[in-house]
Structure 1
Amino acid sequence: MTTSYRPAASPDRRPDAPVRLRVREPADLLATVPYLLGFHPTESLVALFLRDGRVLLAARFDLARGLAEEVADLVEQHAVTGLVLVAYAADGPRGRAVLEEHRAALAGVELVDLLLVDGRRWWSLTCTTGCCPAEGRAYAPAEHPISAEAVYAGLVARPDRESVVDTVAGPPEPDWAGLRLRVAALGPQVGAGTATQRQDLLGRAVVDALARVPEPGSGGAAAPADDDDLLVLALLARETVVRDVACALVTREDARRHVDLWSAVVRRVPPEVACGPLGVLGIAAWADGNGTLLNACCERLERLDPAYPMGRLLSDVSRRALAPAWWDAMADGLRHDLGMAR
């Protein structure tokens, strides 16, 4: 499962410009990884793909043997020139074995470093100068200065991957009955008119809702939306040709606000109307470079409806680790098909 780097906005940068965190030594890199992924990894193999000394892509896998071929495919696909592998394993020997397997199997790319983290200490398996003590070095990424830089720049690192998955889990089951009553009441009103009229209705609803979502880095709080507003968006997004209007409105420059909006929708819709909002949220997460959230959307879509076309598209995007820039061309084609100006 891959997780791509998330560019974040701050007041003094263009929203689509990448955050620059300067890394000089392994401890700096280890403090940066949670912000590249969006969460603090455990029992994971993290691969950092480098080009010209910069992280082009961060990919996270469940810690296991036999991943070298998948890592090598990503190296070739993205034409990277350097690779850092980090094994997070409470069982140190198990993590070391995974790293050594990759050292032996990967060729044609410079292995810049192999790092082992057991949750309390870290080691570099490539150190040959005696700089790394046998007992390792203390692992405390939250106390590293880079963490403060990342937070100031607007990057977020949740406690673990499960906390990201929880954000797309939908409302608690006790709320379903009441929400379903509102879905039944709103359905006839939302479904009235032609598909074109529903497209216009969704477009206006999204624009109005985004006006209540603050710009990233502004420090403002989003105006609360009531359940009926969120359910109307979800009901409109059930119809593919209507849902695609919401996708077409997503730009890389404004993706974070679309993520905030559709996350709010997903949190308050019952399962039977969740696929459309999850699809739009997945597109916004991709455009924002938030691969962890994209994967979480894919996994829930797979559970809700394995044949849902948007779910399969997003899974392919994740599997191939397509950069957010790919969304630009796809979105332009979608807007053209829908007769929408950017």
Structure 2
Amino acid sequence: MTTSYLPPVPPSDPGPGAPVRLTARRPADLLAAVPFLLGFHPEESLVALLLQAGRVLLTARYDLGDHAEAGVADLVEQHAPSGVVLVAYCADAVRGRAALQEEVDRLDRSALDAGVELVDVLLVDGRRWWSLACTSGCCPSEGSPYEPGEHPLSAEAVWAGLVARPDRAAVVATVAGPAEEDWPDLRRRVRRIAAGLDRRTRTDRQDALGRAVVAALPRLDAADGARAAGPGDDACLELALLVRDTLVRDVACALVTREDARRHLALWQEVLARTPPELAAAPLCLVGVSAWAGGNGTLLNACCERLGELDPTYPMGRLLTDVSRRALPPAWWDALADGLRRDLGLQG
């Protein structure tokens, strides 16, 4: 399952890292927004959008064959939205309709009885889309053209710095780390840098981590183009070595706020892109925390999958996997981060 949350409404004078608000008034608008809510263009998927007060609270995606086992109804019960939109993306329109009907029947037996409105049921075959909830005859029987890339809302989202990758595999690739042929050189650098760091006390290393993060953030833009402005190889490897110690890593976690999550995400993605696999667990967790705090459930899920491959016993990886599985909203990070800051003496 993939889950993502819409960021809060931005202030009247948003800064460069402020959340983005997209307005969808018609089904075609919503279909153009879905790839940006998920972070990629879905295929062979069932997508559920949970609405609250006219806003998207949560976007969940299932592989089309897995949705029955996972169940949208469980998410509806957990988050108590006011409405739900279901979208099936399936090249086989007959199969897509069947999947939608199965989920509608399941919702009819539970969530809809509790007053949750089924706002729309949409089918996309890659070329055209249909609203299966339309009973007024306004929707053409042959469907409407599906061209999300041509929709004005897509241009608005791209202009605001949002990204919709071609597919989920492209998202997973962003947390894969450096190419294998780069590992020998990176490991040589690691040995040299580690020799100096190991002579420092933990307090010195915590202070060094905090200073490095605070210094790096102003140079990082919220968009994908941040990489050119980020730290170099040695600086990234030093950060990866510093966060090996969980009490140093926790300082980096405590610095993440929901308001600045995208810049923290850009930083730790830079670090991860230069980190050989034996050091990747802690930077992966920091990417995951920043993704969660920023509402990017797709990227959080990708981090959890790679953490499971690298070290399934890594405690923070298991915590993030539980966050992902339970689809906990970013607001939960506020309480966790406050407690972490108190424990580390970073408040006051």
TM-score (norm 1): 0.93
Where does 1:1-342 land on structure 2 (aligned, <5 Å)? 1-7=1-7, 12-13=13-14, 18-64=19-65, 66-67=67-68, 70-107=71-108, 108=112, 109-214=116-221, 216=222, 222-341=228-347
For residue 111 of structure 1, report the CA deviation from its aligned partner.
1.4
C-alpha distance in 2 between matches for 1:132 and 1:31: 18
C-alpha distance in 2 between matches for 1:132 and 1:273: 54
Residue identity in the other structure for 1:199:
Q
C-alpha distance in 1 between matches for 2:198 and 2:262: 29
> Is residue 165–residue 171 contact of structure 2 (8 Å, CA) maintained in 1?
yes
Residue identity in the other structure for 2:3:
T
C-alpha distance in 2 between matches for 1:220 and 1:163: 18
Residue identity in the other structure for 2:210:
G
Residue identity in the other structure for 1:98:
A
> Is residue 183–residue 276 contact of structure 2 (8 Å, CA) maintained in 1?
yes
For residue 192 of structure 1, report the CA deviation from its aligned partner.
2.0
For residue 212 of structure 1, report the CA deviation from its aligned partner.
2.4
Summarize the Cα distance change of 1:65–1:265 in structure 2 as closer, same or farther, 3 Å threshold. closer
For residue 15 of structure 1, report the CA deviation from its aligned partner.
6.8
For residue 24 of structure 1, report the CA deviation from its aligned partner.
2.0
Residue identity in the other structure for 1:30:
L
Q: Deviations over 1:245-276 (max 9, x none)?
A: 10001111111110100000111110000001
> Is residue 84–residue 119 contact of structure 2 (8 Å, CA) maintained in 1?
yes
C-alpha distance in 1 between matches for 2:164 and 2:93: 24
Percent identity of equivalent pairs: 66
Summarize the Cα distance change of 1:174–1:151 in structure 2 as closer, same or farther, 3 Å threshold. same
For residue 121 of structure 1, report the CA deviation from its aligned partner.
0.8
Q: Deviations over 1:264-320 (max 9, x none)?
A: 011111000000100111111111111111111111101100111111111111111
Aligned residue pairs: how many? 341
Unaligned runs of 5+ in 2: none
Does the residue aligned with 2:87 lie in a helix, a strand or coil?
strand
Summarize the Cα distance change of 1:197–1:62 in structure 2 as closer, same or farther, 3 Å threshold. same
C-alpha distance in 2 between matches for 1:19 and 1:56: 14
Summarize the Cα distance change of 1:301–1:78 in structure 2 as closer, same or farther, 3 Å threshold. same
> Is residue 68–residue 106 contact of structure 1 (8 Å, CA) maintained in 2?
no
C-alpha distance in 1 between matches for 2:257 and 2:54: 28
RMSD between aligned alpha carbons? 2.2
Does the residue aligned with 1:111 lie in a helix, a strand or coil?
strand
For residue 17 of structure 1, report the CA deviation from its aligned partner.
6.1
Unaligned runs of 5+ in 1: none
Residue identity in the other structure for 1:285:
A
For residue 14 of structure 1, report the CA deviation from its aligned partner.
5.5
Does the residue aligned with 1:106 lie in a helix, a strand or coil?
helix
Runs of 4+ in 1 over 4 A off after TM superposition: 8-11, 14-18, 219-222
> Is residue 40–residue 160 contact of structure 1 (8 Å, CA) maintained in 2?
yes
Summarize the Cα distance change of 1:189–1:17 in structure 2 as closer, same or farther, 3 Å threshold. closer
For residue 180 of structure 1, report the CA deviation from its aligned partner.
0.9
Residue identity in the other structure for 1:205:
A
